[in-house]
């Protein structure tokens, strides 16, 4: 009824917005998280690397991570890649008020996802230089990257 009156407009299945508020630069990313309708959803993988500006990766779809037991049967997710993983609270942070995995978690996820090695090496180096990764995290991720490369 609120949509019919013009008080709300439908942004996606089950997601509505007030039309009098301007659309923000990152609304598509918040919409992706809201589309899942699960509280633990977060931007992840290459999308998290992109928004944290530690890698030159430019994913063509938005990556989201939700709990392992979640399943979706709704329409509208063609622009999203949904990954199923139970994340610890310390693995999730905030970027522009949107739940996003930490840079260390994003790099670890991208190691198994298959992101090119040069982009991950760049993310590790920049992440450490910008203070997003501690020295131990940098060393562990670099070792995991080299192990992946040798396989």
Tell me the CB-side half-sphere exposure of residue 105, using CA atoms within 13 A: 20
pLDDT of residue 43: 98
pLDDT of residue 41: 95
C-beta separation of 85 from 68 below 8 A? yes
Domain presence at residue 138: yes
pLDDT of residue 133: 96
Domain presence at residue 6: no
Ranges in the chain, pLDDT < 50: none
Domain presence at residue 12: no
Considering the entire predicted model, what is its pTM?
0.85
Domain presence at residue 113: yes
Tally of domains in the chain: 1
pLDDT of residue 70: 87
C-beta separation of 99 from 42 below 8 A? yes
Distances (CA, A) of 139 to 4, 9, 22, 43, 68: 56, 48, 43, 24, 28
**Which tens digits make up the pLDDT trace of 40-70?**
999 999 999 999 999 999 999 999 999 999 8
Strands (DSSP E) found in the chain: 9-12, 15-17, 42-43, 62-66, 80-84, 92-95, 98-101
pLDDT of residue 22: 66
pLDDT of residue 128: 97
Residue range of the domain that includes 127: 39-150
Domain presence at residue 130: yes
């Amino acid at each position: 009824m609120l949509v019919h009156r013009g008080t709300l407009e439908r942004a996606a299945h089950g997601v509505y917005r007030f039309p009098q508020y301007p659309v923000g630069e990152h609304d598509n990313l918040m919409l992706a998280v809201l589309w899942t309708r699960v509280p633990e959803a977060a931007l992840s993988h290459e999308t998290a690397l992109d928004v944290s500006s530690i890698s030159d990766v430019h994913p063509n779809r938005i990556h989201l991570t939700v709990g392992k037991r979640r399943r979706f049967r709704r329409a509208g997710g063609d622009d999203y890649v949904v990954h199923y993983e139970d994340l610890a609270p310390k693995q999730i942070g905030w970027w522009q008020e949107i739940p996003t995995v930490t840079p260390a978690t994003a790099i670890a996820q991208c190691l198994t996802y298959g992101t090119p090695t040069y982009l991950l090496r760049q993310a590790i180096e920049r992440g450490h230089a910008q203070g997003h990764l501690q020295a131990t995290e940098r060393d562990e991720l670099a070792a995991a990257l080299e192990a992946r490369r040798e396989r």
